[in-house]
Amino acid sequence: METAAGLTFRDATDADVDALVVLIESAYRGDSSRTGWTTEADILEGQRTDPEGVLDVIKSPDSRLLTVERDGEVIACCQLEHRGEHAYFGMFAVSPRLQGAGLGKVIIAEAERTAREDWGVREMHMTVISVREDLIAWYERRGYRRTGRMTPFPYGDERFGIPQRADLQFELLVKELT
């Protein structure tokens, strides 16, 4: 589907895996991620995802990895997973060089519309590292609310990064989809 902003939304395929790993890593890890505001470079080193993790989302029957293109270039993505009465939103990445221009708002709105229309869900859930106050505030401006429900960060599992501090945990954020 193409939007007024010249964005094309489609489901990722196996052929997209390498480009999506590069995109996700560039948005969250290493010095290149510091170009944008979503960087986790100060709290996590190592990888954010890998080809197997991306392929698992693409292949899962209850998930979609929405891929966003502009002029044939993959510039953003997000995971949608159908979990009964709600959908889970994750693996959200926008190219650091394009952050701050309003693309995130357009993409999350399309993800919410897709989950509501395709699966009939009434809520979107996501987890955010609780120390990411700026990111949580951004989601709150989009209608998400903090629940105070925390889950532990997977310390010791380097597939999710190498923590640079000992107080990391995930907080559940929820939005009613109307």
Of the chain, the percentage scoring pLDDT greater than 90 comes to 57
Q: Which of 60-64, 147-151, 162-166, 169-173 has the lowest mean pLDDT?
A: 162-166
Instruction: Please check whether residue 1 lies inside any domain of the structure.
Output: no
Q: What is the mean pLDDT of the chain?
A: 85
Q: How far apart, in whole angstroms, are the C-alpha atoms of residue 98 and residue 74?
A: 12
Q: How far apart, in whole angstroms, are the C-alpha atoms of residue 119 and residue 115?
A: 5
DSSP-H helix ranges across 72-144: 103-119, 133-141
Of the chain, the percentage scoring pLDDT greater than 70 comes to 80
- Please report which confidence band the pLDDT of residue 31 belongs to, taking 50, 70 and 90 as the band edges: low
CATH (domain of 80): 3.40.630.30
Closest to 172 measured CA to CA, from 153, 154, 146: 146
Instruction: Please check whether residue 84 lies inside any domain of the structure.
Output: yes
- The pTM (predicted TM-score) of the whole model is 0.86
Instruction: Please check whether residue 71 lies inside any domain of the structure.
Output: yes
The number of domains in the chain is 1
In the prediction, which pLDDT does 8 show?
94
Q: Give the residue numbers spanning the domain of 148.
A: 7-176
In angstroms, what CA-CA distances link 138 with 37, 38, 96, 141, 174? 11, 10, 16, 5, 13
